[in-house]
Amino acid sequence: RSPLHSCESPEQVLQQFFHTQFPGAFSTTHLLQQPCDTRPPFPQFFSPVLTRRGFLLDKAQGFSSAGVESIPVLAALQSSPVLHSLLSGLCRQLQVPNVRRWSSFFTAGVEQDDFQEALEELKTLSQCYETGFGADGSEDEEDSD
C-alpha cells in the first residue's frame, strides 16, 4: 500500500501526490466538485476530439460535432525555494540600468521613489524564499548595507 491509500479525500490524494513529487515545495490543492461551465458566451476554442463534458473521445469514435459544455479542472499552486534565485536575479537586473535615463518610463507616471520602493519590496520578497540550502550560493552586496 502506498501513502495515497491512507488518504480520506481526493484533495488529500492530490496534496500527498504533490508532496511526493515536489518535496520541500509548499503547495495547496483545491478540488472542484463540479466541472466548470463552458457554454456560450464562453469561447469555443476546444479541440473537436473532446466530448460535451470535456473528456477525450476514443479514437474509434472520431470527432465530436457538439460543443464543449463543461470541463473538469485540476489546478495547483506551489511555492519553491527556486523563486529566491529568480526574484533576486530580477532585482539585480532592474538595478543595472539607470532608470532616470528612461524618460518614457517616468512620463507614464512612475516616480523614482515608487520604483525604488518596489525594488526594495522585490528584494524582501526574494529573501522570503531563501532557504540557505544551496539556493544560489551568492549574496547580494547591496544586502550588506
3-state helix, strand, coil in the chain (%, to 5): 45, 10, 50
Tell me which of 99 and 140 has the higher pLDDT.
99
Q: Are residues 26 and 42 in the same domain?
A: no
**12's grid cell:** 488529500
Q: Classify the C-alpha dihedral 22-23-29-35 as positive or negative.
A: positive
16/29 Cα distance (integer angstroms): 10
Residue 144: how many CB atoms within 10 A of its CB? Answer: 6
Q: Are residues 128 and 85 in the same domain?
A: yes
Q: Is 6 inside a domain boundary? A: yes
Tens digit of pLDDT for each residue in 60-88? 566 666 788 999 887 777 777 778 888 88
Same domain? For 28 and 44 the reply is: no
* Three-state DSSP class for residue 7: coil
- Residues 27, 49, single domain; the answer is no
| pTM attached to this predicted model | 0.43
Residues 64 and 89 in one domain: no
Question: Whole domain around residue 61: which residue ranges?
Answer: 37-72
